[in-house]
Structure formats: C-alpha cells, structure tokens
Amino acid sequence: MHREITMTAGAALSRDAGSSPTRSDVDALAAAKSRLREDGWCVLPGVLAPERTRDALDRLWAAAAESERRGVATHMPVLDPNASNVRVFNLLDMDPVFRALVQHPTALDLVCSLLGPEFLISNFTANIARPGARSMPLHSDQAIVVPEPWLHPWAINIIWCLTDVRFENGATLFLPGSHRFARRSDVPPDALSHMRPFEAEAGSIIAMEGRVWHTSGANITDDEDRALLFGYYTAPFLRPQVNWNVTLSPAVQAGLEPDMRRWLGLEAQANVGLAGAAFAQAPTAAPRAE
C-alpha cells in the first residue's frame, strides 16, 4: 500500500470525529473483520458522526437531482419494480463527500482485510428505498463481475447507512452462509424464505462479502426513507463495473490523489500485479554458447 492503511486494527480506525480510537473501537474493528471473514458480513456502528451522516444524506438528494439534470435516470426498471427506489450512479463525480467516503480509512481497512492490500474501486452508487419500494432480483455482486465457480472472496461492498436501517424500511436482505456458494446451482429454490435483514443505525458501515446472495427489502413504512451508499471494491485483476476514465469529469480526475487514481484504474499501468509471482516461477533460458 502506498498510503498508510495498515492491516492492524487501530491505526486505520479513524472514527469520524477525528479523535483517537479507543481500545473498544480497536476491539470492535478486529471483531468485525473476523466476522466478515467467517460469516461474510459485519456491521460496524458509529463510523460517521450524526451531523456528517445528515450532511451526506442531503448531498445524496442533491446528487439525485443532479443525475436527473444530466439525463441519467434515477429509476432503473431493470433493477427495481417501481420508482420508489431512487438510484444514484456516479457518486464520485457528484460531490467530494462521496470521494471522501469511498476512501474512508475504516472502509479501506475492512476492504484490505478481505481482498489484501491491492484492490480496485469498482463502483459507488446509492439506493434510496422510499415507502412502497419493493425487492430487486436476488443476486450476489461477485456473480456480476466474475463467472463461477466463486472459490475466493474477490469482492466486497462497504454499505454506508445514511438513515437507520431496519426490516420495515427495506433493509437489505441476505441469505446466511451464501458466501460459501461456489455456483448458481448452490442457491436453494426456497432462498427467499430464509433471508435475514441487515439492520443498523444511521452512521454505521455494513460490510458484505461479494459472494453473499442478497436483495433489497420492501419498504413497508408510510413515511420513512432508507438510504444506503454501496461502495463496491474488487480484486485488482477484475475489470471495474464502471469505466472511470469515461464517467469522471476531467476536473474531478485532475484533483485525485495518486492512491485514488490507482484504486480507480486511472494510471497508465493496469493489470500487471502478479508479474513478480509469475516471473519468480518461470524458467529462464540459459544463454546460448556462440
């Protein structure tokens, strides 16, 4: 890693207020990482302070309006059965707050704990489930970017909760244990009847391994929005879902730090990360005698 995102709990845990992490913060992050590895998911509460969470939610609504202004629809019929799900794409181009969240040290610490020190930012989008929202098709996010068999965790979502999230307002529903499924045929026909909600308070991170089968929940409340940001990160050899060269404006690209450029695949060098290992195992031809 070029920037100091250590794999040790604590150094990278920066609670939002900027205060030093307490012992219990460090323990909570360590426990979250082991749960992520074992169970395929974890919840880390209190990563964003309440005022920063509210500010991010305001900026998300502004980004939704800006998306419509740019001609990018916020209802995707291919994903959601009705317009009560508000989708916001290309968040990184919309507001610096989203560029800060996608590289938040706690988020990256969780990402690196699963994928290792090198990764790509594959996408960063939002889904606001408003009252009346219904579930999208069941899927895993790793299945979208790499064909089966899915033998390794090569993807992870860092889900930012900008509102409280509970079953009634449309919490993401997941199938426990499904991060062990290697093939589509491992998904049981009655999967939907075994789904559980990821419930968390506003300001929390939910980390979800890429192989977890999940769907959006239905928002059955009368008046409560559920707003989530989905930072999607993959192993560095998987092509991102988004071509950042195209979607990020020249002005945004020009302002990115070198680490962000690398994580977004914007540097000249791209998929050569395994060269060292490949060369180490390769026989070298002996020089020919003249």
What string of DSSP letters covers 136-162? ---B-SHHHHSPSP--S--EEEEEEES
CB atoms within 10 A of CB 185: 8
Nearest-approach distance from CB 214 to ligand AKG, in angstroms = 6
**Which stretches of 5-84 are assigned E, i.e. beta strand?**
41-44
Q: Is 32 or 228 the residue whose CB approaches ligand AKG more closely?
A: 228
Q: What values do phi and psi take at 204, rounded to 5?
A: -85, 160
Q: Is 28 or 136 the residue whose CB approaches ligand AKG more closely?
A: 136
- Which residue reads 């207020």 in tokens? 17
**Residues contributing to the site for ligand AKG (CB under 6 A):** 127, 172, 214, 216, 228
Q: Is 18 or 77 the residue whose CB approaches ligand AKG more closely?
A: 77
Q: How far is CA 185 from CA 48, 65, 104, 181, 191, in A?
A: 39, 40, 36, 9, 12
Nearest-approach distance from CB 194 to ligand AKG, in angstroms = 17
Nearest-approach distance from CB 20 to ligand AKG, in angstroms = 33
| Cα(183)–Cα(194) distance, integer angstroms | 18
Nearest-approach distance from CB 253 to ligand AKG, in angstroms = 25
- Which residue reads 């979208």 in tokens? 144
Nearest-approach distance from CB 30 to ligand AKG, in angstroms = 27
Q: Is 106 or 127 the residue whose CB approaches ligand AKG more closely?
A: 127
Q: Is 25 or 225 the residue whose CB approaches ligand AKG more closely?
A: 225
